[in-house]
Structure 1
Amino acid sequence: MGAIVYTGGVGFRVWAPYATSVTVGGDFNSWSASATPLANEGNGYWSRDVAGAAVGQKYKFVVNGTDWKKDPYSKKQESSVGASIIYSQTAPAGIAIPYFEDMMIYQLHVGSYCGSSATGISKFADVANKAQYIKDLGVNMVELLPIMEFPGENSWGYNPTDIFAPEADYGGPEGLKALVTALHNKGVGIILDIVYNHLGPSDMDLWRFDGWYQNNLGGIYFFNDWRAETPWGHTRPDYGRGEVRQFLRDNAIYWLQTFNVDGLRWDSTVNIRKVNYTDEIPEAWTLMQWINNEINAVKGSAISIAEDLAKDPWITYTTGSGGAGFDAQWDAGFVHPVKTAIETGWDSDRNMVDVAAALAIKYGDRCRQVIYVSSHDEVGNGKSRPPSAIDSANPGSWFAKKRSTLGAAVLFTAPGIPMIFQGEEFLQPGWFDNSVYNNFMNWNLVTQNAGIVQMYKDLITLRKNYGALRSNNITVFHVDNANKVIAFHRWNGSQNMVIICNFANKTWNWDYQIGWPVWATGHAVFNSDWNGYSSDFGNFGGWDTAPISGGMDGMAQKANIAIAPYSVVVYDLY
């Protein structure tokens, strides 16, 4: 579909079942609206080979004699309001990506990641220049906010106009290919964020593409009844129409094959499958099943992630059992209790029961739940990043550092696929504004907060080194809501680990006891209060401890603990 390059020319093919005529105009025919008519195939499709047309030339379809339309399958755009550009490429080299339970994801927004008020938005090439930084951090997957063509340059990307064309202001398809190559060369996989719950709504030539529509709605690519309604406009694709299903399926497979990306994150799947979060769209469920089956067939190693946030296990159940077939889903049950616990102002208001439930929540396979404390949504839409939410006057204060890193330590020791958001590792303050120009990162903080960056590196390395931390296995065996302490047991085979989290501004100097899962010395392998992470940390605790007789927390033995305020200590038991 679209512009298909062959030796000596280009074939053009487009779907326009209600059109009376379709031609193609472009650089190859002096932009004539009539010189190059397409033949009606009789099945709603129109096509023609154009000898002499070549890569790099601009074009548009002309529908019904006067409507100049961008190619729905356009692989490269001048802009969201410009011409389509004939484009062809070979795929960049792929890599072997980690198993799902071994993944650690870094979510970033291309336009703000390396931009500045002096240089403007950043591009794919700028992010590629940070590939070594990302590798050194230790994460093994990067997830980009949507990079499909959108209006202007000032956007998060959740308003796509041309879903096959990488954003021109970011560097277009050539830039995306170079970014994939740069990350792959460092052993880091890449996940793209795709938006199928709506399209546009502005700068969208798909709207009434061939002139037909019903109920004053969008025409052939969209539902033309109550199902069109979404929180972003009446532009939900018609998942029941075969050609639209094919369009979305082709798009998902295009990124996996042509750019060799390693996964797809589907935006708000609950708004694919439901209208107003309540009324089911059966065709949407079968669409997701079909595309996930196709992903498995085309690139079985790729991860398909749903942002569903409804805690529905059927999202990750196999299609053979009736599930949607996703490999993982974002975990709303983790982020809100943990984020609330670290950001709440008064210790007395922190709810350890909620945190314990967040650690233990399971809908399906726990290793198929993407867990996080920050994401573009959780630090956007008026919500601050944790350091600023904790201390708005001074997001670099002791309290902000201690409690935000408390959240990080819980994240990287919990079961699931951990994800962090850009700048989380160096305490980027503020909130993720709807205006990209207010979101530029302060890269000076990498040096200023080098110790905090090192803590993130240590937590990531810890998770890589201990299979118990990557397993499904967890028992939250100690929940002390009065003193704001929790402890949980992680294990894998004979490997046993205990994680102790102090959510209060109180020091425990060997005068706190918890149950102990096995009769073995606890060797401290991580202490978030180490003053190498920040000079104002106390360097307290993190010392080995041995079991003592006497049952506690339902276990046959117990142990005395020393732990600093707002800190996490991780023990390896042997």
Structure 2
Amino acid sequence: MIFEVWAPKATAVEVDVLGGRRPMTSGERGWWRTEVPEAAHGTRYGYVLDGDGPYPDPRSRRQPDGVFGPSAVYDHARYTWSDHEWTGRDLRGAVIYELHVGTFTQAGTFEAAVEKLEHLVELSVDFVEVMPVAPVPGGRNWGYDGVDLYAVNETYGGPDGLKSFVDACHRMGIGVLLDVVYNHLGPSGNFLHPFGPYFSGFDGSYWGEAVNLDGPGSDEVRRYFIENALQWLRDFHLDGLRLDAVHALHDKRATHLLAELAEEVDALACSVGRPLSLIAESDLNDPRMVRSLDAGGLGMTAQWDDDVHHALHAAVSGEAHGYYSDFADLSALAKVLTSGVLHDGGYSSFRERSHGRPYAGVPGHRLVAFLQNHDQIGNRPLGDRLPMPALKLGAGLLLTSPFTPMLFMGEEWGARTPFLFFSDHVEQELRDGEGGRRQREFDGFGYVWDAPDPSDEETFQQSKLDWDELKEEEHWSLLCWYRDLIALRKALPELSDPRLDRVRIDTDPAGNWLVMWRGSLCVVVNFSEESVTLPINVGAVLLASDEPVRAGQDGLRLPGQAMVICHPAP
């Protein structure tokens, strides 16, 4: 077994393994190396730098005893895959389903999640997007406090558990995306500082110190993140990555980290013979994010589109606080459905400045849109979800829109369980300060902050989905609505057409109704609680959210908070 580690400033490095410390030999560019023939799969080890340590391996493939314990040798070749006929999934025309492993089931493991895959098959989703799985301090966390980025949380089932989950998804025709965090590492269990200049020395975001992507020593730091991404796609057979908060990446190099990563992933896709997707979470509203490398863009396959969420949420909920203030008028929803974003260079009252650029020419499939996600639910003090009437209308528009739609776990049946913010820091100072830190993060959002303690285990337990809700008629009925919408989207090319310039909107903000034309199809939504009659001569109703929807000689009559998808009469 060969042990290698990058520690450019150390004068002596040892590997602590098999009950003793063995000296390592210094090589080029700060890499140290030694061979320990008797070490094998499962052997615990750590690195000692100038007498300090042992520390976990920065590229540890397994942390069986948690983030503060030793690393363990992990041999990827020991796992036997069964997905040999899997040819991958293209993001175009796809529906994504986001889940958190720890709360998706009561057991909170990959093995338990596999038992629920039949539900996702019947829903007809194409990808599951798994929230971060890197090891975290304690036993519960959203995943964005991760460290040891090459390893997999043992609480969920470790690296073999993730592989079994991916294998099972592929057998059932579902692709797997993984949420990864490259803009910061967790405040606890992060032992990268002694090894090298992994960080820039300044706060890159609210969540922590910026990683060093463009300063001295940054060549190896960039490789640390790029090779991590390639590991997930190659060794774990993942179909893509969701890159967290890329606007917090500080990189002034001529070639941005994202462009370099896109180039490497494109090359890997050619090698493995299946499409590989990179989806960025970006707050910049910059179309260069999703433009191809040869067109001068950063080469991301797609990006999350918060503007669509904000417009949908404001329309179905009536909320107008914080960043929803710019989206309160129904004209904002009309614009995002035809332009992709609201803020395309105009003034943002929440930011108190102009923001964004136009997305002209960008196809809708490059914009991942959602009615709910982990952030938009979990960043609310009580982690509350949208009620069923709002879900029906919002899902109807989302799943007939030109974007790549994404659902959040439990949304499809109107889960009543919240998705709260939770963590389990070991250090008492972090545990005690987590709630206050969270409140400060959302200062100015317009919330009355009365959130449960993130460190309380009950906060985590309350966030677990209650699958027994599906036995209740109202939840089952909503699930059928989601299934029917997805089936209709997949059956009718007009509904998956990503060309934004083919979408036409008629709306009356005063009357609180909207009509979206998708080719020869018409999607009509009444957001008001009062019934409305629109001058639309209906030829055939394809799907309606409410039985009292009626088409007559005087036009289309919709009850309050209802929608219909139809063919207009010739």
Q: TM-score, normalised by structure 2?
A: 0.82
* 1:366-418 deviation per Cα after TM superposition (whole angstroms, max 9, x unaligned): 220000010000001225667x55xxxxxxxxxx3222211111110111100
Partner residue of 2:42?
56
SS at match of 1:234: strand
How much does 1:430 deviate?
5.2
Q: Which amino acid aligns with 1:563?
A: L
Q: Aligned partners of 2:16, 2:228: CA distance in 1, in Å?
A: 24
Give the aligned partner of residue 196 of structure 1: 182
* Conserved? CA contact 1:114–1:440, under 8 Å: yes
Is 1:540 equivalent to 2:548 in the alignment? yes
2:256 paired with 1:248: no
**1:289 offset after TM fit, Å?**
0.4
Code of the residue aligned with 2:521 in structure 1: it is M
Per-residue deviation at 1:68?
0.9
Secondary structure, in 3 states, of the residue corresponding to 1:25? strand
Distance 1:182 1:466 in 2: 29
Question: 1:154/1:239 Cα in 2 relative to 1: closer, same or farther (>3 Å)?
Answer: farther
**Bigger radius of gyration among the two:** 1
2:396 to 409, 423, 431: 409
RMSD between aligned alpha carbons? Answer: 2.2
Alignment of 1:283-322 (within 5 A): 283=253, 286-299=256-269, 301-322=275-296
Instruction: Tell me: CA distance 1:338–1:442, structure 2 relative to 1, closer, same or farther (3 Å).
Output: same
Matched, 1:420 2:428: no
Residues 106-149 of structure 1, C-alpha deviations (whole Å, 9 max, x = no match): 0000011102xxxxx51111111111111111111000110011
Partner SS for 2:234: helix
Q: Would you say the 8 A contact 1:272–1:284 is kept in 2? A: no
Say which SS state the counterpart of residue 246 (structure 1) adopts. helix
Q: Distance in 1 between matches of 2:72 and 2:170?
A: 27
Q: Distance in 2 between matches of 1:66 and 1:53?
A: 22
Task: Indicate yes or no: 2:331 matched with 1:353.
Answer: yes
Conservation of the 8 A alpha-carbon contact between 1:412 and 1:463: yes
Q: For residues 355 and 25 of structure 1, what CA distance do their matches in structure 2 show? A: 59
Counterpart CA distance in 2 for 1:206 and 1:16 is 10
Alignment partner, residue 186 of structure 1: 172
Choose the corresponding residue for 1:506, options 530, 545, 548.
530
Match of 1:113 in 2: 104
The secondary structure found in structure 1 opposite 2:182 is coil
* Residue matched to 1:230: 205
Consecutive unaligned residues of structure 1, counting only runs of 5 or more, are 1-9, 116-120, 210-218, 274-280, 390-399, 530-538, 547-558
Distance 1:97 1:561 in 2: 43
What's 2:346 paired with?
none
In the alignment, which residue of structure 2 is the partner of 1:7? none
Counterpart residue identity of residue 539, structure 2: G
Match of 2:242 in 1: 265
Letter in 1 for 2:469: L
- What's 1:15 paired with? 6
Partner Cα distance (1:96, 1:330) in 2: 25
Q: Distance in 1 between matches of 2:185 and 2:233?
A: 20
Counterpart amino acid of 2:151?
A
Equivalent position to 2:379, from 378, 381, 390 = 381
1:472 CA drift (Å): 2.2
Q: C-alpha distance in 2, partners of 1:168/1:308?
A: 30
1: CA distance, partners of 2:257 / 2:498: 30
The letter of the residue matching 1:513 is: P
What TM-score does the superposition give when structure 1 sets the normalisation length?
A: 0.81
2:59 is equivalent to residue 73 of structure 1: yes
Cα deviation for residue 345 of structure 1 reads 7.2
Unaligned runs of 5+ in 2: 321-326, 341-358, 423-459
Correspondence for 2:136: 150
- From 533, 542, 545, the counterpart of 1:528: 545
Instruction: Tell me how far 1:103 sits from its aligned partner.
Output: 1.0
**486 and 328 in structure 1: CA distance in 2 versus 1, 3 angstrom threshold:** same
Deviations 1:269-322 (A, max 9, x none): 11114xxxxxxx313961110001111110251110000032110101112222
Q: Which amino acid aligns with 2:172?
A: K
Q: Helix, strand or coil for the counterpart of 2:69?
A: coil
Q: Which residue of 1 aligns with 2:70?
A: 83
Deviation of 1:341 (Å): 1.2
Q: Is the 8 A contact 1:333 1:361 kept in 2?
A: no
CA contact (8 A) 1:527 1:542 kept: no
Task: Count residues in correspondence.
Answer: 491
Q: Summarize deviations over 1:27-77 as a string: whole Å, max 9, x none.
A: 3xx2x13xx211111431111121121111111111112321111111111
8 Å contact kept, 1:145–1:156:
yes
Partner of 2:317: 343
> Could you tell me how far apart the structure 1 residues matched to 2:381 and 2:172 are?
33
| CA distance in 2: counterparts of 1:223 and 1:560, whole angstroms | 63
| 1:473-530 deviation digits (Å, cap 9, x = unpaired) | 4433311122211111112xxxx2111111112224xx4214x7xxxx632111111x
Matched-pair contact (CA < 8 Å) for 2:313–2:319: no
CA distance in 2, matches of 1:350, 1:235: 34
Secondary structure of residue in 2 paired with 1:191:
strand
User: Partner amino acid for 1:501?
Assistant: V
Q: 2:25 aligns with which of 36, 39, 43?
A: 39
CA contact (8 A) 1:150 1:167 kept: yes
Q: Could you tell me how far 1:351 is from its partner in structure 2?
A: 2.8
Residue 409 to residue 285, structure 1, CA distance change in 2 (3 Å): farther
- 1:479 maps to which residue? 507
Please tell me the residue identity of whatever aligns with 1:176. L
Distance in 2 separating the partners of 1:528 and 1:80: 49
Q: Deviations over 1:520-551 (max 9, x none)?
A: x632111111xxxxxxxxx11265x79xxxxx
Question: 2:483 corresponds to which letter in structure 1?
Answer: K
Q: What is the alpha-carbon distance in structure 1 between the residues aligned to residue 337 and residue 381 of structure 2?
A: 23
User: What secondary structure is seen at the aligned counterpart in 2 of 1:183?
Assistant: helix
Q: State the distance in 2 between where 1:254 and 1:303 align.
A: 14
Asked if 1:323 corresponds to 2:345, the answer is: no
Alpha carbons 1:385, 1:428 under 8 Å: kept = no
Contact 2:67–2:136 (8 Å) recurs in 1: yes
The percentage of aligned residue pairs carrying the same residue is 30
CA distance in 1, matches of 2:485, 2:309: 18
Contact 2:213–2:257 at 8 Å: present in 1 too? Answer: no
| Aligned equivalents of 1:345, 1:314: Cα separation in 2 | 31
Asked if the contact 1:198–1:237 (Cα under 8 Å) also holds between the matched residues in 2, the reply is: no
Q: Is it true that 1:453 corresponds to 2:439 in the alignment? A: no
Aligned partners of 1:351, 1:286: CA distance in 2, in Å? 37
In the alignment, is the contact (CA less than 8 A) between 1:376 and 1:432 conserved in 2? yes
Partner in structure 1 of residue 453 of structure 2: none
Q: Could you tell me how far apart the structure 1 residues matched to 2:35 and 2:528 are?
A: 71
Instruction: Determine which of 517, 531, 538 is the counterpart of 1:489.
Output: 517
> Which residue of the partner structure matches residue 208 of structure 1?
194
2:446 maps to which residue? none
Query: Relative to 1, partners in 2 of residues 1:569 and 1:472: Cα closer, same or farther, differing over 3 Å?
Result: same
Identify if the C-alpha distance between structure 1 residues 341 and 48 changes in structure 2 by more than 3 Å, giving closer, same or farther: same
**Cα distance in structure 2, aligned partners of 1:371 and 1:72:** 35
Whether the 8 Å CA contact 1:101–1:416 is kept in 2: the answer is no
Structure 2 Cα separation of the partners of residues 475 and 467 of structure 1: 13
CA separation in 2, counterparts of 1:270 and 1:285? 15
In 2, Cα distance between equivalents of 1:202 and 1:487 = 50
Answer yes or no: is the 8 Å Cα contact 2:550–2:558 preserved in 1. yes
